[in-house]
Amino acid sequence: MTREIDLYYWPTPNGWKVTIALEEMGLPYRVNLINIGAGDQFDPEFLKIAPNNRMPAIIDPEGPDGAPISIFESGAILQYLARKTGQFGGPTERDRVAVDQWLMWQMGGVGPMAGQAHHFLSYAPELDPPQDLPYAKDRYRREVARLYGVLDRQLAQNRYVAGDFLSIADMAIWPWAQGWERQEQTLDDKPHMKRWLEELAARPGFQKGKAVAADKRSSGMDRKAQEVLFGAKSSAA
C-alpha cells in the first residue's frame, strides 16, 4: 500500500498545483498547513524541507530507491510526481518536451506576473500607508493579458496546453489562470482559454484539489500578515 506523502501547504495558486496533481494522480497525502500570513514558512523545521521559505513542499516516504525524499518548488514537485506515477508527464519524449516547456512558461511567466498583478491591484492599495501605483498596476495587468493571449492561441490548436492530453502543465497554469477576474482580465477575446478553464474546473480532481483547506483562505489581510509577507510596517506600529 502506498504510504502518504506529507504535503506542506497553504491554499494559494502554488499550493493548488500540488493538491490538484495529488488528487488527479490518486496519491494519498497528509496536509501540513503552513500559514504564510503567520510566518510558519520561517520555522527552522520547515526550512530544512524548503530552504527558500516558500510552500508548497513535500516529503515522500517512498522516494527513489525506497528512501524518503523532500522536495520544494512547485514545478519540481509536479515533475517528480509525474515521473513517480508515470502520469501526466506526456506519453512520448516529444510530448514530455512540450509539457516541460509549458510548465517552465508558467513558472517563469504566468506565476510571477499574475502574482505581481495580484499584489499591485489588490494588496498594495490596502497597505498602511496605501501604495496605489498606476504604473505598476498597468504594467502587470498588460503583461498578464499578453500571456493569456499566448495561452489562448495555444489552446486554439490543442485541447490542453501541451497537446491532446492533460498534463502537469495544465495543473500548474490553471490555478493562476482561473483568477483572471482578480487580475482585471477579460475572456471576451479568449474563447479557447475560457473553454479550457471551464473544462478543467469541472474535473473532480481539480475541484477537490482547490477545496483543500479552503476555509483558511481569507479575502482580506491584516497588518501582521502584510508585514510578514511584504515587509510592510504599519505606520501605527
| 118 and 75 belong to one structural domain | no
What does the pLDDT read at residue 237? 24
Residue 16 lies in a domain: yes
Given a cut of 80, is residue 233 above it in pLDDT? no
Statement to judge: residues 67 and 160 lie in one domain? no
Tell me what pLDDT residue 129 has: 86
Q: Looking at the predicted structure, is the pLDDT value of residue 63 above 70?
A: yes
- 210-223, pLDDT tens digit by residue? 999 999 987 555 65
If asked whether residues 61 and 20 sit together in one domain, one would say yes
Shared domain for 97 and 207, answered yes or no, is yes
Note the pLDDT of residue 217. 85
Domain that holds residue 106: 93-211
| More confidently predicted of 109 and 230 | 109
> Looking at residue 224, what is its pLDDT?
63
Q: What is the CATH number of the domain that holds 181?
A: 1.20.1050.10
Number of structural domains the chain divides into: 2
* Rounded-to-integer distance, Cα 141 and Cα 117, Å: 6
For residues 36 and 115, is the Cβ–Cβ distance under 8 A? no
Q: Are 128 and 171 part of one and the same domain?
A: yes
Q: Residue 33, CB half-sphere, CA atoms under 13 Å: how many?
A: 10
All three cell numbers of 106: 508558467
pTM of the full structure: 0.92
- Does residue 230 belong to any structural domain of this protein? no
